Amino acid sequence: MSSVQEVNPSVRRIRAATGLQSLAARIAEEITQGTQKPFQKVIDVSSGDPHRAGMPPTSFVRQVLAVCLYPELLKENSLPLDARQRALELLGACSGGSVGSYSISSCGAPHVQKSVADFITRRDGGVSSHPEDIIFSSGSQKTLSMVLHLMASGEGETQTGVLTPMPCPDTLPTLLDMSGVTVVPYQLMEDRGWAVDLGELHRALKTARGRCKPRAIYISNPGNPTGHVQDRKTIEEVIRFAATEGLVILAEEVYQDSVYGQDKEFISYKKVLFEMDKKYSETVELISFNSLSNAYMGECGLRGGYMELINMDPAVNNYLRNMQATSSPPVLPQLALEVMVNPPSPGHPSYKTYTQEILHTLTTLSQNAQRACEFLNDLPGMNCQPAMAGVFLYPCLHLPPQMIEEAKMLGVEADVLYCQRLLEEEGLCLGAGCENGQKDQNYHIRLCVLAPPATLEEVLARLHSFHLRLLDRFP
């Protein structure tokens, strides 16, 4: 194949992600075997995995899960009383009183569904949430996959299309392709901090007519990987747009608890929808997603998530529930989700420690994001929009023409080549922007800034050293 442009975009994204991860693993193995490198270890901040980057887990979560896994710890007085009581309560919600049993319901444990519904009701200022509208699965991507498989239909001009932000979560384009739906890209406005633009939505929809049948719009708020936080006006515009065009809103709201931008706040799509006129609040179909992978929990490896179905046809609810019937969701992630949405209350033994740990995590995230953004904007040939939430920065690279030509000759994207060389020379693994569905000739890199401050400083030092050498190499 003569050119990277001839390769299916999904294949290119998969090759980019797996290639960089494989290279990072190979270099780490070489160091273990004694190969001399100009660095002592590989640092991987390519994914939104704070534990991989060195952030500690939240004590209360792990204490509760530990007791659930080994109930003998109920007798262990060194563990906080409220952690043991919570574990006993959660074990009572498990079939047979054990995390080793199948989930009682194909959609999740009723006790946990109620806790999630109560959390959403509190979050949205009293807008009611109902346990029967909550469905659990092994991560938000799994729940999204269930929805996409339900929506997928047709071929050619009748094939289901989903309006998809660019950039978007790195797993999303491939997931859409694998589900048999057409990606309808709409560009986020980088010069406006990666805002959603109503005119761009109309442009994308108009372009899609005749090549597919758009049936949904995917929203990431707070933005992944951009960190943009949508305001109420934008959310209302998107809801009206979806209502007019007959689109289901798929709202990924995983980073809702990690907003740190000044004068910024997270407002859920559901809250805004239910505060609008009845012609919207009673008709617009909305599915929202959340997961354990959010910033302050960071329990990515537990693979737990849920979706809430709003204004959906009862037949759709039943179908999605039945999809889980042959494979009930894992129990342990459900219990962790219950702790996430129902943390220790004031007066409980674990409250002080829990709040201190969460505050430390969010403070580290905020300070790291500001520090890294200022650093990146000081580098020649790079500029970065400030993030307002989430765990990523997504700076733009202005690469030398010689490097772009070299990448074309090698059959890779130029940002992938940049990340490969960075790995080989500095042992630093970042994400390539092409994984997030960026436009051609508009190169970006992605780095997780939720890491211990010392680790972030090492990341920035290695990036600085490599980037300046690159510019010397290609003046």
Reported as a single tens digit per residue, the pLDDT across 150-174 is 999 999 999 999 999 999 998 898 8
Confidence band of 124 (pLDDT split at 50, 70, 90):
very high
Is the per-residue pLDDT at 110 higher than 60? yes
According to CATH, where is 3.40.640.10 located in the chain? 102-341
Residue 317's pLDDT band, with cuts at 50, 70 and 90, is confident
pLDDT band at residue 5 under the 50/70/90 scheme: very low
- Rounded mean pLDDT of 270-280? 97
Half-sphere exposure of 74 (CA within 13 A, CB side): 12
Secondary structure string (H, E, C) spanning the chain:
CCCHHHCCHHHHHHHHHHHHHHHHHHHHHHHHCCCCCCCCCCEECCCCCCCCCCCCCCHHHHHHHHHHHCHHHHHCCCCCHHHHHHHHHHHHCCHHHCCCCCCCCCCCCHHHHHHHHHHHHHHCCCCCCCHHHEEEECCHHHHHHHHHHHHCCCCHHHCEEEEEEECCCCCHHHHHHHCCCEEEEEECEHHHCCECCHHHHHHHHHHHECCEEEEEEEEECCCCCCCCCCCHHHHHHHHHHHHHHCCEEEEECCCCCCECCCCCCCCCHHHHHHCCCHHHHCCCCEEEEEECCCCCCCCHHHCCEEEEEECCCHHHHHHHHHHCCCCCCCHHHHHHHHHHHCCCCCCCCCHHHHHHHHHHHHHHHHHHHHHHHHHHHHCCCEECCCCCECCEECCEECCCHHHHHHHHHHCCCHHHHHHHHHHHHHCEECEEHHHHCCCCCCEEEEEECCCCHHHHHHHHHHHHHHHHHHHHHCC
* Percentage, residues of the chain above pLDDT 70: 95
Residues of the chain with CATH 3.90.1150.10: 4-55+356-473
| pLDDT of 253 over the 50 cut | yes
The CATH H-level superfamily of 4-55+356-473 is: Aspartate Aminotransferase, domain 1 (3.90.1150.10)
Q: Give me the chain's average pLDDT, please.
A: 91
Q: Higher model confidence: residue 296 or residue 166?
A: 166
- Specify whether the CB–CB gap between 307 and 287 falls below 8 A: yes
**pLDDT-based confidence at 6, cuts 50/70/90?**
very low
In CATH, the number for domain 102-341 is: 3.40.640.10
Residue 327: its pLDDT value, please? 66
| pLDDT(451) > 70 | yes
In this structure, of 222-226, 315-319, 377-381, the range with the lowest mean pLDDT score is: 315-319
pLDDT band at 227 (very low <50, low <70, confident <90, very high): very high
Average pLDDT over residues 123-139: 92
pLDDT beyond 60 at 4: no
